[in-house]
Amino acid sequence: MIKGMSIVTVWVLDQDRAKEFYTEKLGFEVRTDMRIGGDSGMRWLTVGAKDQPDVQLTLMVPGTPGLDPESAEAIKKLVAKGVLGAGVLTTDDVHGDYAALKAKGVEFLQEPQERPYGTEALFRDDSGNWFSFTQPRGELDLDQPWAS
């Protein structure tokens, strides 16, 4: 039986730059940074939120085993174009964290706005992936028109 999600792949264009972005700008911690198959092997780089030790993001450059060169190039182009959403990151202070991240140079596509599910901002990582940055609301009001 599936017990949950533990590792999620985020496609990046440069692992060193991504490591710096996720740790220095977003405050994630490095969980794993190693080469599989010796010095010339694939780099396995994972990061995660300090308060969520059971979930990791693997920062992976397209072209790793399992992808043919044509598919790897297609993914790189989509990442660089900024059309891939990589997920939702949550916070308990979206306005304060928005200001702090913006001051660190994080590129926001949308400032915090009220949504039925909470307050949401959108930002891009250093490769072009966009994330929803959300302060969730408590219970959803299912009597609202958007709920049907």
CATH number of 18's domain: 3.10.180.10
- Asked whether residue 86 is domain-assigned, the answer is yes
Tally the domains of the chain. 1
Please report the pLDDT score of residue 59 as a whole number: 97
Residue 145 has pLDDT above 60, yes or no: no
Q: Which domain holds residue 46?
A: 7-64+77-136
Q: How confident is the model at residue 148 (pLDDT cuts 50, 70, 90)?
A: very low
CB 20 within 8 A of CB 59: no
Q: How confident is the model at residue 142 (pLDDT cuts 50, 70, 90)?
A: low
- Asked whether residue 143 is domain-assigned, the answer is no
pTM: 0.88
CB 59 within 8 A of CB 22: yes
- Asked whether residue 145 is domain-assigned, the answer is no
- Asked whether residue 42 is domain-assigned, the answer is yes
Residue 45 has pLDDT above 60, yes or no: yes
- Asked whether residue 29 is domain-assigned, the answer is yes
